Amino acid sequence: MTLTLELALPLIVLAVAAAAVPLAICRVWPPRGDAGLALRGLLAALVLVVLAAGLFAVLYAVGGARLGAAAQSAPLASVWHFLWLGTMSALVWAPFLLLTILGLGRRLRAARQAEEIRNG
């Protein structure tokens, strides 16, 4: 494997996912206020941990690791290992997630103010 596949590609995928996941969640389930936006941010973080765990499992498989054998001998340990890697990858994707959530909050407040001006 090249350095690009091992390092740059996962970083780019995680950064793009960290920006896209909260936008998709808020599009499907629009927040009504700041608490709703925070809840969607937590949901997006959980989704990103699972996506990152899956990404690491794919990268392990591409690298030649025998995931089937590991999953048969210690299934729970294998799942926890990849979830731990997904959680640790928050160092990469959490800033992008935070910036996206803060941007959504700013848009939400601007939309509320515009609606108050129209109505009132």
Sequence-distant (≥ 6) Cβ neighbours of residue 108 within 8 angstroms:
31, 33, 34, 37
Query: pTM here?
Result: 0.86
Identify residue 7 by its one-letter amino acid code: L
Residue 71's pLDDT is what? 73
- In this prediction, residue 8 has a pLDDT band, given cuts at 50, 70 and 90, of confident
What b-and-e string marks burial along 77-96, b requiring 16 or more CB atoms within 10 Å of the CB? Answer: ebeebbeebbeebbebbeeb
Residue 2's pLDDT is what? 65
